[in-house]
Amino acid sequence: MMNDNDILEMDSLSDTEEPEGDTELSMIDEEVVYPEEFLPTYHSIKEGATVTKTQQAEFNNKPDSLFFNDGVRRIDFILVYEDEDKKEFEKRHTFQRRKRRREYFEASLMKMGMELEATQSVVDDKLMFIKVHMPWDVLCTYAEVLHIKVPIQPNDLASSSSPWRFFSCITKHFYPNEELISKETEYFTAPFEKDRLDYFYIKEKDIFFTPAMRSRMAYYILSRAPYEIRGNIKKFGITKLLDGGVYKAAYPLHDCRFNVKSTEQGCPNERYLLYEEWAHPKSFYKMQPLDLIRKYYGEKIGIYFAWLGFYTIMLTLAAVVGLGCFIYGYKTQETSTWSKEVCDPQIGGNIVMCPQCDKFCKYWRLNTTCEASKKLCIFDNFGTLVFAVFMSIWVTLFLEFWKRYQAELEYEWDTVEFLEQEEPPRPEYEAKCSYERKNPVTGVKEKVPYTACGRCIRVSIGIGTVLFWILLILASIVAITVYRLAVFFTFSHRLRNQDLKQLEPLKEYVTPQMATSVTASLISFVVIMILNILYERVAIWITDFELPRTKTDYENSLTLKMFLFQFVNYYSSCFYIAFAKGKAVSYPGRPVYLLGKYRNEECDPGGCLFELTTQLAIIMGGKAIWNNIQEVLLPWVKNLISRHCTRVGSEKVIPRWEQDYQLQPVSKLGLFYEYLEMVIQFGFVTLFVASFPLAPVLALVNNLFEIRVDAWKITTQFRRVMPEKAQDIGAWQPILQGVAILAVATNAMIIAFTSDMIPRLVYYWSFSVYPYVDHYNNTMAGYINSSLSIFDTRDFTNSSRPFADTGITTCRYRDFRYPPGHPRQYEHNVYYWHVVAAKMAFIIVVEHIVYLTKFILSYMIPDVPYAVKEQIKREKYLTQVILHETNLKLVTKRLKPIAKDCLKETEVKLAMEEMDLDL
C-alpha cells in the first residue's frame, strides 16, 4: 500500500519513453525501485488462470459479471496478453523479455496497492486476461491526488423552471424515457480529502466512486507503474508496454451488452440504456441524455456531444432561412431579367462571344449558357445578401449562447475549477526530463526535458515542417489550376464544335466552364483526401517531437497544426475560385498567361459564383460520405470479421471482459478527428454561405446522422472509452471564433467580387448617368449588353487568333472597357471605376455594421447565467464552512489531551499544598 508521499512522488513517472543516457528520475520513491535480481511471485496472480468446468459454468450463468471470481471485488481495468509459453521456440528469447517486464509491471501494481486476478480466454487458450481491482484505501488516496470532486450535500437551490413546462405533455416525447433514465439528484461537491470522510455524502462505499472515476484512477496508476530498471534508468507505463507488444490491450469494461440487459445484481445497465434511448435509430428525434453520457464516458466525451447537439439545434434556424433563400431563388430564376436576356434568341442569340482560349477555341453565342444562367439565378440574388448578413449574426449568437450553455455544464459536471495543476504532466514529457531549471513561480528547481535553446529548435523545426506542407498544398492548387486551363481548352474545342453531333444533347446543359469545374472539383477532393492522410502522420510526429508538457498542451498543439493544414487544404481551392479566378484576364487582344504558356482562365459570363457552389457541394458531400465510410463501415466490418473468426461452441458463453476485447480499440485521438470534421464543416457553413445557401441544410442533415452514428459507434463497436476530464471544447473555441470573424469578410467579398450583384445594383440605380447605359427608369433591361465590352477581331495577335475565321468582325467579352475606335480603347471606363467604388463601399459598410452588431450582442449576452453564478457561490460557501468546522474539530481533538494533562498537574499541585498545610 502506498502512502501520500509515495503517490506524490510517483507523479514523475512516464509510460512511453525512457530518458536518454544515464539520467536518473530522482522523484521515484526508493521503495518502488526493486533490486535487479528481483522477480515477483507470479503464481499469486496467475493461480486459477485456467478456465475450469466450474468456472465455465459460472460464466454461463453470469456472462456479464463485473467482479473477480469471489463476486465481491469489482473489476476496474482489464489487461490482455498472449501467453508466451505456447509460442515457437525460435522466438522464445523475445517472449521471455516480455514476460519478465510483464511480471515486474504486475508486481509493481500490487506494490502500489492494486489487486490482480488472472483468467484464461474461453475462445483462445493463448490469451490471458488480468483483472485489476482498486481497494477502498487506494481509491481514497488517488481520488485526493487527482482532486476528484464528490458530493457533500444535496443541492438546496431550486433550479429555474423551464419556460416549456406548459408544453411538457408534448415535449416529453422528445426527451429520453424518464422511467428508464431518471434525472439524477444534484449535489454540491468538493475535492475529495481522505481525512474528512465524515463530511462527504457517502451512502455506500462500493458505489461512492463511479465506475468512470475508478477507471480514471486505475489508468493513472497503470501509466506510472515501473516495468524495468537498468542501472539508473527506469522504464514505466502501460502505453510503452502496449506499443512493445507486452500487452495486447488495456481497457475498462462496459457494464453490459448494448442490446441485452444484464441480470447481475446492482448493474446499472447504463450501456443498454444509452443504446436504447440515444444510439438506437428509433431514438433519432430525441434529445441526448447528456448526464448519463458524461457519467458513463466521462466529461470529455460528454462535452463533445453537448457541443455537437447544440450546434445541430442552432443549425435548424440557419437551415430554415437558407432553404427559404434557395426557394426564393428557384422561384425567381424564370423571371430574372438578365437571365431572360441571356436566353433570348434575339439578344443572347445575337451576341457573339470572343474565344476563351488561343487558336483552337471558336466564337460562341451567349445563349449557349442559358441553363447555367438560370441555375446561377438560384444562388445569385438579393436574398443571398440578406442570408449572408443573417449568418454573420447567427454565428455570433451561436458562440455566445454556447458559452452560456457550456458554463452550465461546467457547474453541473464539476469542472468549474478544473485547473492546470490538476492535470499531471504527460509521461512522455517526464521521461525526457534531464535538465534542471528554476521554476519562476515557486522558485524551486525542477526537471525539464530541454533547455530554452532546445525548445526553440524543436518549435522552429515544427513550424518549418508545417510551412513546407502548406506550400505543398499551394503547389497542388497550382497544378489543378493548370489542369483546369488545359482541360478547358479541350472542352471548349469539343463541346462547341458544331460538327460533333454525338455531343449535341449536352451542349444545352454542359458548358466548358461547368465540365471543367466538375472534373477539377473531383480531382481536388481526391488530392485533399490523400494529403490529409499523409499530413496526419507528419503532424503527430511534429507534435511528439515538440514534447508538450500535459495532454491538453499536446492536443492544443496538434489541433492548431491540423486545423491550419486542413484550412489551407480544404478551403484553398474555394478561395481561388472566389477571389482569384477570372480577376486578372485582361482582354482578348492582350490576355494574361500563367507560367508564360497557359492563358489565365475566365469566369462564365454570369460569374464564378456557380462554380464556387459546385466546388462546395462536391467537397462537403464527398467529405461526409468518406467520413461515414471510415467511421462506421470499417469498424463494423472489422468486428464482423472478428466475431466470425472467434466463433465458439454454443455450450460456451464468453465473459464480459472477453466480449469487450473483441470490439475495436479506441483511437488515442478519436475525439480530435470528430471535432476536426465538425469545425471544417462549420467553416463551409459560414465562410462561403453567400455562394451556397443550402450549406446549412446539408450540414443539418449530416449532423442529425452524425450524432446517432457517433453514438452507435461508440456504444456498440468500440471498447469503453477511457473517461477523461474536460472543462470545455479546448482549442476549438478560439478557432471557431476566428472562423466567425473571418466569415464576415469572406461573405462580403464573395458578394462584392464573385457574384454579379453589385454591378447589377449600380446599373439598376444609375439611371442615365452613363451615356452607354441605355435606360431611364429603374429596370434591369439591357444589363447584359451593358456588362459586355466590344473587341475588334482584327486586334487579335498572331498567337491568339482563332484558326476558324468565320468573318466575324467584332466579338464581346466580360469587362467594362472602352470600345475599339475610342481614344482610350480597351482601357477601363468610368462605369468600371464606379462599380469598384461601390464594391469597396459595400464591403466596408457591411463589415462595420455586422461587426458592430456582433460586438453589441457579445456584450449584452453574459457568458455565465446568473443562476449558475449563485450556485457556484453557494457551493464555495459550503466548502469553506465544512473546511472551517473540520479544522476546528481537529484543533479541539489535539487540545483535549493537553488540557487533561494541565488539569492533572493542577490537581497534583493542590494536593501537595494541602499535604504541606496538614504537616
Residue 421 reports pLDDT greater than 50: no
The span from the CA of 58 to the CA of 809, in Å, is: 96
Secondary structure (DSSP) of 204-245? -HHHHS-HHHHHHHHHHHHTT-EEEEETTEEEE-HHHHHHTT
> Any idea which of 141-150, 378-387, 452-461, 601-610 has the lowest mean pLDDT?
601-610
108: nearest Cα among 92, 126, 132: 132
- Percent of residues, the chain, with pLDDT higher than 90: 11
Between CA 170 and CA 746 the distance in angstroms is 42
Task: Please report, as a single letter, which amino acid is at residue 913.
Answer: E
**Mean model confidence pLDDT for the chain:** 77
Question: Beta-carbon neighbour count of residue 905 at 10 Å?
Answer: 10
Name the more confident of 902 and 352.
Answer: 352
Q: Output DSSP code: residue 436.
A: E
CB 342, CB 373: distance < 8 Å: yes
Q: What is the pLDDT of residues 243-265, one digit of tens each?
A: 888 899 999 999 888 888 888 77
pLDDT interval class at 918 (50, 70, 90): very low
At residue 846, the pLDDT reads 87
Helices (H) then strands (E): counts for the chain: 30, 18
Q: Looking at residue 131, what is its pLDDT? A: 93
pLDDT at 114 exceeding the cut of 70: yes
Higher per-residue pLDDT: 678 or 494: 678
Does residue 100 have a pLDDT over 90?
no
To the nearest 10°, report the CA torsion of 369, 371, 377, 379.
Answer: -100
d(CA 134, CA 114): 5
* Chain centroid, CA 852 distance in Å: 30
Q: What percent of the chain has pLDDT over 70?
A: 75
Please say if the pLDDT value at position 400 is more than 50: yes
* pLDDT tens sequence across 39-69: 444 444 555 455 555 555 555 557 778 888 8
Lowest mean pLDDT among 127-141, 636-650, 843-857: 636-650
Q: 239 or 438: which carries more pLDDT confidence?
A: 239
Residue range 556-576: average pLDDT? 82
Q: Choose between 38 and 91: higher pLDDT.
A: 91
The pLDDT of residue 513 is 63
Q: Is 612 exposed, middle or buried (0-12, 13-18, 19+ CB in 10 A)?
A: buried
Nearest Cα neighbor of 569 from 528, 539, 511 is: 528
Note the pLDDT tens digit of each residue in 214-231: 999 999 899 888 888 776
How far apart (Å, rounded) are the C-alpha atoms in residues 687 and 750? 10
Do residues 75 and 133 touch, judged by C-beta distance below 8 A? yes
- Other beta carbons less than 10 A from residue 913's beta carbon: 10
The pLDDT assigned to 891 comes to 66
| Most confidently predicted of 20-24, 574-578, 741-745 | 741-745
Structural contact between residues 428 and 517, judged by C-beta atoms closer than 8 angstroms: no
Higher pLDDT, 728 or 430: 728
**Within 76-173, where are the H helices?**
92-111, 136-145, 168-171
- Taking residues 849-871, what's their average pLDDT? 84
845 or 509, which is more confident: 845
CA–CA dist 711, 791 (Å, integer): 62
Query: What is the structure's pLDDT at 3?
Result: 42
Which of 28-37, 152-161, 407-416 has maximum average pLDDT?
Answer: 407-416
**What is the mean predicted confidence (pLDDT) over 444-451?**
67
Q: How would you classify residue 607: left for phi > 0, otherwise alpha for psi between -120 and 50, otherwise beta?
A: left
Position 536 pLDDT exceeds 50: yes
**Amino acid occupying residue 744:** V
Q: What is the DSSP letter of 504?
A: H
Would you place residue 427 in the very low, low, confident or very high pLDDT band (cuts 50, 70, 90)? low
pLDDT at 4: 39
Cell 408544453 belongs to which residue? 167
Give yes or no for a contact between 831 and 367, defined as CB atoms under 8 angstroms apart. no
**Can you tell me the mean pLDDT for 526-532?**
79
pTM as predicted: 0.80
Report residue 237 as a C-alpha cell: 507505463
Higher pLDDT, 440 or 532: 532
Evaluate whether 749 touches 843 at the Cβ level (below 8 Å).
yes
pLDDT in the model for residue 308: 94
Which pLDDT score, from 0 to 100, does residue 77 have? 93
Q: How confident is the model at residue 751 (pLDDT cuts 50, 70, 90)?
A: confident
- Among 766, 804, 810, CA closest to 786: 766
Reported confidence tier of residue 580, pLDDT bands at 50, 70, 90: confident
Q: Cell numbers at residue 715, please?
A: 456504444
Cα–Cα distances in Å, from 290 out to 278, 302, 644, 700, 721?
A: 10, 6, 34, 20, 16
pLDDT interval class at 24 (50, 70, 90): very low
Give CA–CA dist 353/808, Å, rounded: 10
What is the reported pLDDT for 614?
79
Separation between Cα atoms, residue 566 and residue 660, nearest integer Å: 34
Residue linked to cell 504541606 = 916
Secondary structure letter of residue 260 according to DSSP: S
Mean pLDDT for the stretch of residues 622-633: 76
